[in-house]
Amino acid sequence: MRWTIKPKPEPQLVSQLATELNVSTLIAALLVQRGISTFEQAKQFFRPGLNDLHDPYLMKDMDKAVHRIEKAISNQENILVFGDYDVDGTTAVSLVSSFLRSYYPNVATYIPDRYDEGYGISFKGIDFADDNGFSLIIALDCGIKSIDHVAYAKEKNIDFIICDHHRPGEILPEAIAVLDPKRVDCSYPYDELCGCGVGFKLIQALAKNRNHSIDDLIPYLDLVATAIAADIVPMTGENRILAKFGLEVINTNPRPGIKALIQNVKKKVLTITDVVFIIAPRINAAGRIKHGNHAVELLTEFNLEQAQQFASEIEGYNADRKDLDKQITIEALSQIEENNEKEKFTTVVYNENWHKGVIGIVASRLTETYYRPTLVFTKSGDKLAASARSVKDFDVYNALEKCAHHLEQFGGHMYAAGMTLKEENYLQFKEAFENVVQETIHPDLLIPEILIDAEIDLTEINPKLIRLLHQFEPFGPENMTPVFIAKNLIDTGYGKTIGQNDEHLKLFVKQNQSEGFGVIGFGLGKMLELTKNQQPFETAFCIDENEFNGTVTVQLRAKAIR
């Protein structure tokens, strides 16, 4: 592990902000590290409001999109809402279709089959639209590179509106409107929206056009918050506002589908982390194991009993997904060991029998194990398909771009991507990818990093600090849960390992004359030796609250110990 303490912010700036806000210099420093240095910025950070959202019409082509949808409604055209099979795509389809259906009946949804059609807009989907009399397709979370598909639809007199957030190529599809804040010629003030977020801007514009207020859209925010959490987009700007209010909906009045997914969760208040680990994998499991349609059915169902039926089916898919990903991870790890590839700069594995629906999860597991840019391939029809995952600060999309001549197609982000190639190109591609990464990656990036916000004394941990840290939520990329370092800690003798294979660590620590705090270290069981016999040690940790039998206590969640 690399322990990196963030540079201390400008002391004068910190001191001034602390005075203006009447908070400790520690809180002020955390704010300045997040780019918040004035009273006004802090007020917006601590009290985000839906009125702080940008005007949707600032997005390039938004007026064209709204005009075309309103024209379709006045002409009684059939509208097909098309989206990808992952969480971002299925929530986006559920969002836009349920909003449109609230005042117009001729709306249907289409999710491509992961195995038969693959990622994004498909010719089969366009043929379905043609056969069933749809003249307008709204594509969500996909389509920015679907030039041939949009041209094919045009020949059949089917118009496209594309709502995407992936990086465009040099040429845009000839759609009626292309909504993508990452377009070079789009001056929209915030370009980190997820696909469902772009879908939300579309319904916000449609609502504004019909003189609805932003408050009318609050019931849809549970879907947007779920997509933001699952797609791991920055938790800044509009994303943070939408996630905050969406979490409130999830906790107070979620749609029946989400209510059914969380009905067995014991926690009183769900956080973004709970959305990532409880709601998102279940929604994803539908598209991974069966079909993404099941997720849309669940999320657009307004009868609770029916939603509970859908949720229990999805629970079954999720159990299958867990078994598969466990088995494939074991096989992939042994493949790496057998081929003696641990010393490489990349991890690239392939087995034609691996389930296409879980290779992305397996890629994440392998990245955690070897901490390398990782690709997991399987057979898909007559081609090979792969999921890519990267390590912090390394752009795997750019690396794939440099190997594009070996690929049939690829798309994605800095940290996650997907691709297909011909089987005969696999070995050349594998070698090219290894060479590109070797030439471009800084060796430090191959060692996991713990980024520490500040050093802290345990005496500084008090109710006011915890209350203010809660106001930093929701956490996510670029607004991560603060990580602190405390030195000269001593375990008071209660240290032990817990868990099935003694993999976790439980301590009770003091620092000088401070009051004691419980420590939980997930996956840190091996560190017990370092803390024995009252040896002083230091730990990087987050401050957590542990709820047990109705009592809430403060505990430190250790991320590393040395």
Answer whether 370's CB lies under 8 Å from 342's CB.
Answer: yes
Same fold across 2-6+450-561 and 339-446? no
Backbone angles phi, psi at 60, to 5 degrees: -55, 135
Nearest of 502, 412, 546, 482 to residue 29 by alpha carbon: 482
| Span 283-310, pLDDT tens digits | 999 988 889 999 999 999 999 999 999 9
Of the pLDDT bands very low, low, confident and very high (cuts 50, 70, 90), residue 80 is very high
pLDDT mean over 209-219 = 96
Give me the pLDDT at residue 287, please. Answer: 87
- The edge-to-edge listing of strands for the beta sheet with 78-83 is 107-110, 78-83, 134-140, 159-163, 177-179
| Span 12-69, pLDDT tens digits | 999 999 999 999 999 999 999 999 999 999 999 999 999 999 999 999 999 999 999 9
The strand pairing partners of 383, in sequence order, are 380, 422
Instruction: Give the start-to-end residue ranges of the domains of the chain.
Output: 2-6+450-561, 56-312, 339-446
Distance CA 527, CA 420 (A): 42
The alpha carbons of the chain give a radius of gyration, in whole angstroms, of 25
Q: What is the pTM of this model?
A: 0.91
Of the pLDDT bands very low, low, confident and very high (cuts 50, 70, 90), residue 182 is very high
Alpha-helix runs per DSSP H in 60-177: 62-74, 87-101, 123-131, 147-155
Distance CA 28, CA 9 (A): 9
Of the pLDDT bands very low, low, confident and very high (cuts 50, 70, 90), residue 339 is confident
Give me the pLDDT at residue 412, please. Answer: 79
HSE-CB for 146 with a 13 A CA cutoff: 29
First to last CA, the chain: 10
A 10 A CB-CB count for 536 gives 12
Distance CA 109, CA 99 (A): 12
A 10 A CB-CB count for 514 gives 15
Residue type at 78 in one-letter notation: N
Q: Does domain 339-446 have CATH number 3.10.310.30?
A: yes
Whether 147 shows a pLDDT value over 90: the answer reads yes
| Span 101-126, pLDDT tens digits | 999 999 999 999 888 887 889 999 99
Instruction: Report the relative pairing of strands 78-83 and 107-110 from DSSP bridges.
Output: parallel
The third-level CATH classification (topology) of the domain covering 56-312 is inorganic pyrophosphatase (n-terminal core) (3.90.1640)
Whether 549 shows a pLDDT value over 80: the answer reads no
> Angle at CA 151, nearest 5°, toward 149 and 157?
105
The strand pairing partners of 384, in sequence order, are 379, 421
> Residue 137 has which token pair?
């397709």
Nearest of 168, 181, 202, 172 to residue 64 by alpha carbon: 202
Pick the CATH number of 2-6+450-561 from 2.40.50.460, 2.40.160.20, 3.40.980.10, 3.40.50.261: 2.40.50.460
